[in-house]
């Protein structure tokens, strides 16, 4: 009976918390290594979030809760996330059922 010693696969995780910090904490004013932000103008930001939400709905499993998509596309500004989803509903790209799940129409 032979045993293979010394060839164990060891996965090393280095600085995981530091690498994930920009995605968990809001960016500080003037921070250079902050995560990418949405465009500055309100209409441009809304358009960008609508594109992101539409892309998420096309790649994620069906029937996602509205709040889930809102939180993903705009974690630091919940009102802007709600407005982006409202705009998708108004454009008849998605609909919301009585349980609050989004359904793609196109």
Domain that holds residue 86: 41-104
What sign does the dihedral 25-64-77-35 (CA atoms) show?
positive
Within-domain flag for 11: no
Q: What is the mean pLDDT of residues 3-24?
A: 63
Residue scoring higher pLDDT (95 or 21): 95
What total of structural domains would you count in the chain?
1
Within-domain flag for 74: yes
Q: Which residues pair with 102 in a beta bridge?
A: 96
Distance (Å, rounded) from C-alpha 104 to C-alpha 94?
Answer: 4
Within-domain flag for 33: no
Q: Which helix (H) or strand (E) holds 96?
A: strand 94-96
pTM given for the model? 0.58
Within-domain flag for 57: yes
Within-domain flag for 56: yes
Q: Which helix (H) or strand (E) holds 95?
A: strand 94-96
- Tell whether the model's pLDDT for residue 68 goes beyond 50: yes
- Where residue 91 sits, what CATH number does that domain have? 1.10.10.10
Q: What is the mean pLDDT of residues 13-18?
A: 68
Within-domain flag for 20: no
């Amino acid at each position: 009976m032979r045993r293979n010693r010394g060839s164990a696969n060891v996965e090393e995780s280095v600085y995981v918390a530091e690498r994930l910090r920009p995605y968990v904490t809001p960016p500080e004013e003037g921070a250079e290594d902050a995560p990418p932000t949405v465009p500055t103008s309100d209409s441009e930001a809304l358009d960008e979030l609508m594109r992101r939400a539409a892309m998420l709905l096309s790649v994620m499993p069906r029937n996602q809760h509205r709040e889930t998509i809102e939180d993903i596309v705009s974690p630091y500004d919940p009102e802007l996330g709600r407005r982006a989803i409202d705009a998708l509903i108004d454009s008849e790209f998605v609909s919301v059922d009585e349980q609050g799940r989004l359904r793609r129409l196109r």
